[in-house]
Amino acid sequence: MNPQINQETFITTITTWYKNNRRSFSWREHITPYHVVVSEIMLQQTQTERVAQKFPSFIAAFPDFTTLANASFADVLREWKGLGYNRRAQALCKIATHVVNDFDGQLPNDPEILKTLPGIGPATASSIVAFAFNKPTCFIETNIRTVFIHFFFKNEHKVTDKQIMPLIQATIDNKHPREWYYALMDYGVMLKKEIGNLNKQSAHYTKQSKFIGSNRQIRGKILQILLDQPGASLHTILTELQEEPSRVTRILITLEKEHFIKNHHDGWWLNSKS
């Protein structure tokens, strides 16, 4: 660990920079628990700029948990198009349904409860509580990790989140955790642009697999075909995809098991609900 910087200097450096460089996003300017949940799920594995483009239209189409819970999965996928990782859209629909049915439409402010909902792990649960309710929870994501590696582990490799977490706990602003995390994340984005990907020094770093030609790409194409042509036959799907039939069949079966699609009268359809 870098012994040349103390926590007070670190906090001052981040907050001073943030005052003049704060990024503005619609989910930051109009904060509701629902907006936070949607943005946090969207931001998983997707660039902020792309989410910033999609978020307003998604919120316009589905302005609250109830609307989203009652929406057809096809309509949600249409709005989700361009964000990728469609499992997140499915999880978001399920989250909305749980909030409406199990919590009277009010998002719980306890990370332990949020962790029980689909698509929400420990870090996402804590980030939702920090941003939606301004409660001082502790979590690590890629930009926050970048900042702490830069200041405290600059020349080290295989840095673990277990090493970083005590520093996050020690430096969090207990009165204004939401703005403090915004500051950390914005500073991390700046570091990536100016220095490069410091997350390569993390023990948890993994290189993202190629999208072109992947099963993930074919899954997305299948869902798009069924959006455009509900009830498409296997022959139609194979003709559209021009991929190995056995591979496509395996992916169709997997999508069916995951409740994305269903087979009915020799045609494939999106499930009406996720």
Average pLDDT over residues 202-213: 83
Would you call 40 a catalytic residue per the annotation? yes
pTM of the model: 0.91
Closest CA to 9 of 200, 191, 242, 171: 171
Interatomic CA distance for residues 107 and 120, integer angstroms: 13
Interatomic CA distance for residues 155 and 189, integer angstroms: 20
Say if residue 174's pLDDT is above 90.
yes
User: How do residues 65-91 score in pLDDT, each as one tens digit?
Assistant: 999 999 999 999 999 998 988 999 999
User: How do residues 17-68 score in pLDDT, each as one tens digit?
Assistant: 999 999 999 999 999 999 999 999 999 988 999 999 999 999 999 999 999 9
Say if residue 274's pLDDT is above 80.
no
Say if residue 4's pLDDT is above 70.
no
Q: Which of 8, 29, 40, 243 is catalytic?
A: 40
Interatomic CA distance for residues 129 and 136, integer angstroms: 8
What is the pLDDT confidence band of residue 1, given thresholds at 50, 70 and 90?
A: low
Say if residue 251's pLDDT is above 60.
yes
* Distances from the Cα of 79 to the Cα of 9, 34, 58, 84, angstroms: 44, 16, 6, 11
Are 147 and 188 spatial neighbours (Cβ–Cβ below 8 Å)? yes
Closest CA to 170 of 185, 148, 192: 148
